[in-house]
Amino acid sequence: MPELNNIIHEYLKVVANMKEYVAEQLELGFLESTAPFGKMTMEELRAEAIACTRCELHKTRQNVVFGEGDENADLVFIGEAPGSEEDQQGRPFVGTAGQLLTKIIEAMKFTREEVYIANVLKCRPPNNRDPSPNEINHCKPFLTRQLGIIKPKVICALGAHAAHALINSNEGITRMRGRFYLYNGIKVMPTFHPAYLLRNESAKRPVWTDAQKIMAELGKL
H-assigned helices in the chain = 2-28, 42-50, 84-89, 96-107, 133-150, 160-166, 173-176, 194-199, 204-217
* Contact between 154 and 50 (Cβ < 8 Å): no
- Closest by CA position to 118, among listed 139, 132, 134, 138: 139
Taking the least distance from each CB to ligand SF4, the nearer of 64 and 75 is 64
User: Which CB sits closer to ligand SF4, 138 or 213?
Assistant: 138
Closer residue to ligand SF4 in complex, CB, 29/206: 29
CA dihedral 45, 152, 84, 195 (to 10 degrees): 160
Could you tell me the smallest distance in angstroms from the CB atom of residue 218 to ligand SF4?
29
User: Cβ closer to ligand SF4: 11 or 37?
Assistant: 37
Q: Nearest to residue 132, comparing CAs of 93, 165, 155?
A: 165
Beta carbon of residue 125, minimum distance to ligand SF4 (angstroms, whole number): 8
Q: How far is the CB of 124 from ligand SF4 (least distance, A)?
A: 8
| Residues in contact with ligand SF4 by the rule CB under 6 A | 49, 52-55, 57-58, 64, 121-123, 135, 138-139
For the CB of residue 144, give the shortest distance to ligand SF4 in the complex, in Å.
12
